[in-house]
Amino acid sequence: MDRFHQLHVYVAVAEEEGFAAAARRLQLSPPAVTRAVASLEETLGVRLLDRTTRYVRVTEAGRRYLEDARQLLAGLAAADEAAVGINTQPRGHLAVTAPVMFGRLHVLPGIVEYLQLYPAMEVEAVFLDRPVNLLEEGLDIGVRIGELPDSSMRALRVGSVRHVLVASPTYLERHGSPQAPADLSKHTLIASTAGGFGPSWRFADSASEQSLKIKPRLTVTSNEAVITAAREGFGIARLLSYQVAADMEAGHLQALMPQHEPPVFPVHILHREGRHASTRVRSFIDLLAQRLRRDTNLNPHSARL
């Protein structure tokens, strides 16, 4: 039996967590799917899937093999595209992930432009305020804010953002502006749990960095809610610069203590394909990178270009 056929079937079963669902996805009969996986396991001499009457799950060996199988199939697709020609129009499916608010403000407009340019493409956008493993969750491209851990992912830096303290003019008129991080203990604070940021806020000056444990009066689960509360004059919030750029420009929020801002966070586009990425991945990254690098909220110097 053809090994690449076996890999296609195995990946489908692992991702769908079921033989019947994989058969529908591949438009094969359930017995054909079962035979392909059984033949693959027999050839390898390894059990890749745990099967019960209620579920199908990958084993530890199956999980590692799944990652390798995905990479092999992606490489085969890239080789096919290279053989057909580099100018081939992208077609197929892309799964893209990004933080919720960044995705809505900066990634979704790029996706819409991409789909308008390439009618044969489909895109699934997964916006989540948590770390996402592209391999484990079957995603093609991700946008990350912050330093990257050691990874086999390909990364392209496209900008940076800052942590900024903000408050509305009405709040500052009533309570005054803090001049140093220690002054925050005298103010009403608003915090968000989105993005995994903890109960401490980092600050810096010319000599050192410090971490200040805060006690917010209001804690919410979304950055949009923090912005709304701050805009309405409830207190001081700390957010990423791109999240409050529009409100600061409109005068609804003002930046506080810029001299104590911690180092910037880089913004990267990640993908899990090799050096010869497929046309659909490469074309989307090129488009999105160009858009993000032109954005003055992510690259202030671009306004001078």
- Can you name the residues that pair with 190 across neighbouring β-strands? 218, 237
Length in residues, the chain: 305
pTM of the complete model: 0.71
Q: Which residue has the higher pLDDT, 182 or 85?
A: 182
Report the distance separating Cα 282 and Cα 294, nearest Å: 18
Q: Is 238 helix (H, G, I), strand (E, B) or coil?
A: strand
Question: What pLDDT is recorded for position 240?
Answer: 94
Q: Could you give the CA distance from residue 42 to residue 18 in angstroms, rounded to a whole number?
A: 19
CA distances to 17, 191, 192, 203, 260 from 195, in Å: 29, 11, 8, 18, 22
Query: What integer pLDDT is reported at residue 219 of this predicted model?
Result: 93
> Rounded to the nearest 5 degrees, what angle is found at the Cα of 299, between the Cα atoms of 126 and 90?
45
Rounded to an integer, the average pLDDT of 59-87 is 76
Q: How far is 189 from 184, CA to CA, in rounded Å?
A: 8
- pLDDT band with cut points at 50, 70 and 90 for residue 153: confident
Domains of the chain with bracketed CATH: 3-84 (1.10.10.10), 92-161+265-304 (3.40.190.10), 163-260 (3.40.190.10)
Q: Is residue 304 scored above 60 in pLDDT?
A: no
The pLDDT tens digits for 100-119 are 999 999 999 999 999 999 99
Residue 161: the pLDDT is 95
